[in-house]
Amino acid sequence: MAVPLLVADDSRLSRRSVIKALPPELEFSVTEAANGREAIELLENTSFKLLLLDLTMPEVDGVGVLEYLSGKSDRPDVIVISADFQPEKQRIVMELGAKKFIRKPLDNEELAMTLFELGYL
Amino acid sequence: MSSTISLNEDQRDALQELMNISMGQAANSLAHLIETKIGISIPKISAVTPSELFSLINRSENAYYTRQSFLGDIQGEVMAVVSESGLTEVASLLEYEAPLSKSDVEETILELSNILAGACLAGLSNQLELATNLNMPTLFSPNKASFVELNWQHSLVMEVQFDIELSSFSMRVVFCLDRTSLIKLTDTIDELLG
């Protein structure tokens, strides 16, 4: 069965590269959000198993999305994929419940390894 | 009529994302050096005439200005606008002792410009596999007349802002490219987009 996946990133190039980096052994049903507000609207109405989340986005940023999710019981696994990888930022997102922090530019193998660690592969 | 070069939506999106990644690397370099969190803005990409560039650079009050030229597969200039406010705190994080002398202030400004602009340019060049070489920064005072004479008659401005938490310090970095370099850059991005 396809894994319901939300990819939230304001860059189309980045969303495209994330989707292309998904391991072919797994089937995903992919939905895209172009900013944090869109992501929250989608998360309110749809149950996603996995969220691949950028941090630096307009309207609501990735930290805002994690804050929104922090009070929810039924929340997706969140993998943050961001260019802003300062130690303090990583600490904040991990405290807010992200499962893993991956640096941009995205390394396909690191994404596959993370999905393996989280039990998807 | 403004004679600027337009980018299509895909090119602008790609350039914005490449700058975002480069800024992250730049902010991380500085954050490690001063052990303080750096806030980074979403990059703004625009094409401007020299007089618009002057307005963009000159809109800050109480600021210092630096410029650094770069050569290679693409050539142009990086300008940085460094706030006077909060500079003393940042200088102390860089281990300059208060009170700052005039040369301490200049060194701090030039060092910040070099770290942030250098890392931004390096990040952009690496991702696009372009060779570039950045010269040392110098301080300057923006002057409208001199901007009209700039080589960047069709400037592409990539503007990013860094803010340092626990201080009122902020810095903007603006990249300017000449027409040939802009064409080279957009061609390289088109190849990347496939």
Task: Tell me if A85 and B16 make a contact (CB, 8 A cut-off).
Answer: no
E strands in A34-121: 50-53, 77-82, 100-103
Domains, chain A, ordered by start: 3-117 (3.40.50.2300)
The predicted model scores a pTM of 0.82
Structure ipTM: 0.77
A35 vs B: CB within 8 A = no
The SS3 assignment for B169 reads: coil
pLDDT tens string B146-170: 777 776 666 677 788 888 877 888 8
Report the C-alpha gap between B158 and A14 in whole angstroms. Answer: 18
Answer whether B129 touches A (CB < 8 Å): no
> Which of B13, B28, B31 has the CB atom closest to A12's CB atom?
B13
Mean pLDDT for the stretch of residues A21-47: 96
* Torsional sign, CA B129, B132, B136, B137: negative
A13 vs B14: CB contact, 8 Å cut-off? yes
Under DSSP, is residue B186 helix (H, G, I), strand (E, B) or coil? Answer: helix
For the residues of B93-154, what is the DSSP string, one character each? Answer: HTTPPSSPPHHHHHHHHHHHHHHHHHHHHHHHHHHHT--EEEPPPEE----HHHHHT-S-TT
Q: Which residues of A touch B13 (CB under 8 A)?
A: 11-13
How does pLDDT run across B89-110, given as a tens digit for each residue?
989 988 899 899 999 999 999 9
Domains and CATH numbers, chain B: 9-186 (3.40.1550.10)
